[in-house]
Amino acid sequence: MLSLKQQLTVGFIAVLIYAIGIIALALSLPSSQFDFTVQDNQLMIATASDEPLPIKQFVAAEQELAAAAALQLDEPDVLPTYAELNRFFATHSQLHQALTQGQLVVITATAEQLIPKLQSRTLVDLPGMFWLQLFCGVAGMMICLMVWMPATRDPAITAFAFTGLSNLMFTSAAAVYSTRDFFIEGSTFAWLSGMNHSGALLFSASLAVFLWNYPVKRRTRFSALLFYGLFAAALAVDQMQLTASPVTGFHSWVMLIFLAGLVGSGWQWWQTRAQAAQRAALRWVVLSILAGTLFFAGGMILPAILQTAPPAPQGLLFTTFLLMYAGIALGVGKYRLFNLDRWWFALWSWLLGGVLVILTDLLLVWLLSLSNATGLVLAVALVGWVYFPLRQWVWRKLTQRDTAKLEDWLATALPAMLNSQRDATARGLEKALHAVFKPLVLVRESPPNNATQLAENGKSLLVYDSTAATSWRLEHAAGGERLFSRQDERIANLVVSLHHLVQQVDVAYAEGALEERHRIRRDMHDDLGAKLLHLLHKSPAESQPLVREAIHDLRNLLRDMEGESLTLAAAAAHWYEETQRRCHDHGIELDWQAQVEAQQLNIQVLSELTRIIREAVSNALKHAATQRLRVQIDADEHGLNLVIQNNGVIDAVQPKESGGLSNMRMRAQKLGGTIAYQTVADNWLVKAAIPWRSA
């Protein structure tokens, strides 16, 4: 199986080979020394230097043929009936045969006889409209390949790819016969016209299937079967000429299928009414499609159906289809259409880089073909100083392979694993796999695969993590440049083993830190606790409250070192008990208001919040004039808001941030929160806001 970039390369080469075949077919059409045009609904003939003359008739192998202006039509299916269309092809067959046999005579309105001579066409003879139409088809097909190959297969993606194929069919066929130099073999013309009709019908059917299945996929394949069935029926009606006119046999089918597809976009609009992201993607897709199809429908299909006005030049109208494909390409980056990520544009840079190399080669070939000395010197200078260094650099970028050795992927995997421990250890393996293999897609596999193994012939690699009982799916190694191999299987197993080793080191470190914490706690409990109890019994009565407070702080510290969590309600009760006791000792009235939820606090958050409240209360108790202290705690799903207010502030000047206030601010910032303080009348106010991200 080929890698993603190899698949794209094969696809692009196939499209280019097809384009070369179309160019060869256009060059095979005959030409003559005369130019044929239409003026005032009259077929005209002129040489390169003469004024055009009206043509009265053709004489092909002694058979007179009418010189109808319709013979110069760019698109013959605008003729009102299939009978006229068949006569159109038959007349071209007679003219082509007579030209190739040297038996064609053109009789002008002045009875002058002109004999066209068979000439071959060169690339220079192909008009710009030919290249424009061919470019529209090739560019649309390449964009569809860029969407279809990396994306997950589903009816919408497949239908979108078919629009590119059908667009290439009808634009390339029209490019050949609409830019002919008047002469073309009738059967070839009929075959190309049928190819154009097949592409147009398939385009409408595929677009309808796409609109009925994107962004919300239908549960059944009914829409796909219906529209592709309509395509087959319409193609049979048109090619077998089961009706009298191309209007009923072709144009009406194209328009009706297209309108039925737009009904599907209305159904999608209803289905995405509660999904903002999908609604935005749908809006972008529909606008892109309308921008690319309405001009063609209004300028070509409707005039052909109504037979009220000549259709617009279809070569120019084909360019509007590029608006649709360009809009889809931009939507990949803006709305992640088809679940393609930003790396899709990296594939485009790879493609355009290759095109740049080819174009530069062609430029140098042209420069070297110049006969003058200046052109030769310029070409040699560009080759030596610019072209070869730049070409080799670009080519290395396009063709480089992932040849990482053991030391290379260790250097990328280890930092990813170690850095991940700072936020989420579970992401360590994910980051390491991404760093080592650089896949375009890396997702969890559900249900998990119980072994590390290749999948889809190397397109994917399944990596199993036995300790977490999870597995990862990696797709398109090295940014899509290669397939996964058996060597990648072994490297993936080594990465998983390395991840387990890093986890074991982390666990051992945590266990060692916990054991040391317990040892310190035991020493403090046995030594410092005993000494404080002894001091309590020996100290005078006026000093005992201070000793009891120290013992209480020691108990809190020892509890914190246990590493246990606590609910916010329990913590609030503990804060109230401590604050009430301290206010009672100082003869201060306490107004306590707490509206809390069942939020679980880890020991670090609990410790920091306790110290913030304790410091704020201590600041209030320092003021001799304080008579009332108000503490308000409000908590919701987002965080905690704390307000501590005391009266008795005589000096309303904003104080400098001292040690206590600075400590409170640092503790709040440590928890990701903020703290502010101010004087309001004779009240001192402290406000703290702490989010739950640290809880």
Confidence at residue 403, expressed as pLDDT on a 0 to 100 scale: 45
Contact 397, 353 (CB under 8 A): yes
Q: Which residues fall within 8 angstroms of residue 270, CB to CB, at 6 or more apart?
A: none
Give the percent of the chain with pLDDT over 90: 28
The verdict on 99 and 153 lying in the same domain is: no
The per-residue pLDDT for range 228-262, each reduced to its tens digit, is: 999 999 999 999 999 999 999 999 999 999 999 99
The verdict on 199 and 298 lying in the same domain is: yes
* Cα–Cα distances in angstroms (integers) from residue 33 to residues 103, 278, 357, in the given order: 15, 58, 38
Confidence at residue 423, expressed as pLDDT on a 0 to 100 scale: 42
**Candidate ranges 5-9, 300-304, 315-319, 670-674; pick with highest mean pLDDT:** 670-674
Confidence at residue 363, expressed as pLDDT on a 0 to 100 scale: 63
Task: Kindly tell me if the per-residue pLDDT of 393 is higher than 90.
Answer: no
Write the burial class of residue 107 (CB in 10 Å: 0-12 exposed, 13-18 middle, 19+ buried). Answer: middle
The verdict on 222 and 266 lying in the same domain is: yes
Listed range (191-200, 376-385, 663-672) with the worst mean pLDDT: 376-385
The verdict on 94 and 209 lying in the same domain is: no
Q: Please, which pLDDT band fits residue 384 given cuts at 50, 70 and 90? A: low
Where do the DSSP E strands lie in 563-673? 566-567, 589-595, 600-601, 628-635, 639-646
**Short-list 612, 578, 603, CA closest to 592:** 578
The verdict on 141 and 180 lying in the same domain is: yes
User: 619 versus 404: which is more confidently predicted?
Assistant: 619
Q: Please, which pLDDT band fits residue 636 given cuts at 50, 70 and 90? A: confident
Confidence at residue 359, expressed as pLDDT on a 0 to 100 scale: 62
58 located within any domain: yes
The per-residue pLDDT for range 415-437, each reduced to its tens digit, is: 655 555 544 445 677 888 888 88
Query: For the chain, what is the radius of gyration of the CA atoms?
Result: 41
β-strand partners of 445:
471
User: 483 versus 106: which is more confidently predicted?
Assistant: 106
**Candidate ranges 189-198, 423-432, 455-464; pick with highest mean pLDDT:** 189-198
Q: How large is the average pLDDT for residues 667-690?
A: 87
Interhelix angle 406-420/486-523, rounded to 10 degrees, is 40
Full domain range(s) for residue 370:
344-399
According to DSSP, the β-strands at 628-635 and 639-646 are: antiparallel
Amino acid occupying residue 540 = P
- Quickly list DSSP for 189-206: HHHHHHHHHHHHHHHHHH
The verdict on 367 and 328 lying in the same domain is: no
Confidence at residue 174, expressed as pLDDT on a 0 to 100 scale: 94
Confidence at residue 424, expressed as pLDDT on a 0 to 100 scale: 43
Look up residue 147 and give its DSSP letter.
H
Count of other CB atoms within 10 angstroms of residue 611: 14
The per-residue pLDDT for range 483-498, each reduced to its tens digit, is: 788 888 888 888 888 8
Q: Please, which pLDDT band fits residue 145 given cuts at 50, 70 and 90? A: confident
* Final residue in a domain of this structure, among 89, 119, 149: 119
Count of other CB atoms within 10 angstroms of residue 155: 17
> Rounded to an integer, what distance in angstroms lies between the CA atom of residue 389 and that of residue 373?
24
Tokens of 687: 């406000």
57 located within any domain: yes
Q: How large is the average pLDDT for residues 429-447?
A: 83
Write the burial class of residue 58 (CB in 10 Å: 0-12 exposed, 13-18 middle, 19+ buried). Answer: buried
521 located within any domain: no
The verdict on 201 and 219 lying in the same domain is: yes
Confidence at residue 401, expressed as pLDDT on a 0 to 100 scale: 46
* Final residue in a domain of this structure, among 446, 477, 500: 500
Supply the CATH number for residue 614's domain.
3.30.565.10
551 located within any domain: no
User: 439 versus 507: which is more confidently predicted?
Assistant: 439
Task: Tell me what the pLDDT averaged over the chain comes to.
Answer: 80
The verdict on 298 and 369 lying in the same domain is: no
Contact 424, 430 (CB under 8 A): no
CA 365 from chain centre, in angstroms, equals 38
Listed range (2-11, 117-126, 360-369) with the worst mean pLDDT: 360-369
The verdict on 307 and 169 lying in the same domain is: yes
643-675: buried (b, 16+ CB within 10 Å) or exposed (e) per residue?
bbbbbbbeeeeeeeeeeebeebbebbeebebeb
CA 445 from chain centre, in angstroms, equals 21
User: 524 versus 72: which is more confidently predicted?
Assistant: 72
CA 475 from chain centre, in angstroms, equals 16
509 located within any domain: no
Give the percent of the chain with pLDDT over 70: 77
Confidence at residue 392, expressed as pLDDT on a 0 to 100 scale: 63
In the chain, the number of structural domains is 5
228 located within any domain: yes
Q: How large is the average pLDDT for residues 542-560?
A: 69
Task: Kindly tell me if the per-residue pLDDT of 398 is higher than 60.
Answer: no
280 located within any domain: yes
Q: How large is the average pLDDT for residues 19-42?
A: 93
Tokens of 51: 């004024």
593 located within any domain: yes
The verdict on 335 and 246 lying in the same domain is: yes
What does the H/E/C string look like for 538-596? HCCHHHHHHHHHHHHHHHHHHHHHCCCCEEHHHHHHHHHHHHHHHHHHHCCEEEEEEEC
Provide φ and ψ at 34, rounded to 5°. Answer: -105, 155
The verdict on 495 and 446 lying in the same domain is: yes
> Rounded to an integer, what distance in angstroms lies between the CA atom of residue 275 and that of residue 255?
30
Contact 291, 327 (CB under 8 A): yes
Q: Please, which pLDDT band fits residue 557 given cuts at 50, 70 and 90? A: low
Q: How large is the average pLDDT for residues 655-684?
A: 81
Tokens of 313: 């030049």
Contact 521, 562 (CB under 8 A): yes
The per-residue pLDDT for range 337-368, each reduced to its tens digit, is: 555 555 555 555 555 555 565 566 666 656 55
Which three-class secondary structure state does DSSP give residue 309? coil
Supply the CATH number for residue 20's domain.
1.20.1070
Q: How large is the average pLDDT for residues 563-568?
A: 66
Q: Is 37 left (phi over 0), alpha (psi -120 to 50) or beta?
A: beta
Task: Kindly tell me if the per-residue pLDDT of 370 is higher than 60.
Answer: no
The verdict on 87 and 213 lying in the same domain is: no
- Angle, CA of 316, 321 and 326, to the nearest 5°: 125
Confidence at residue 402, expressed as pLDDT on a 0 to 100 scale: 45
CA 421 from chain centre, in angstroms, equals 30
**What is the number of residues in the chain?**
695
> Rounded to an integer, what distance in angstroms lies between the CA atom of residue 663 and that of residue 667?
6
Confidence at residue 42, expressed as pLDDT on a 0 to 100 scale: 93
Confidence at residue 285, expressed as pLDDT on a 0 to 100 scale: 82
- Quickly list DSSP for 338-406: GG--THHHHHHHHHHHHHHHHHHHHHHHHHHT--SHHHHHHHHHIIIIIIHHHHHHHHHHHH------H
Tokens of 495: 């990465």
Task: Kindly tell me if the per-residue pLDDT of 680 is higher than 70.
Answer: yes
**Short-list 478, 477, 435, CA closest to 455:** 477
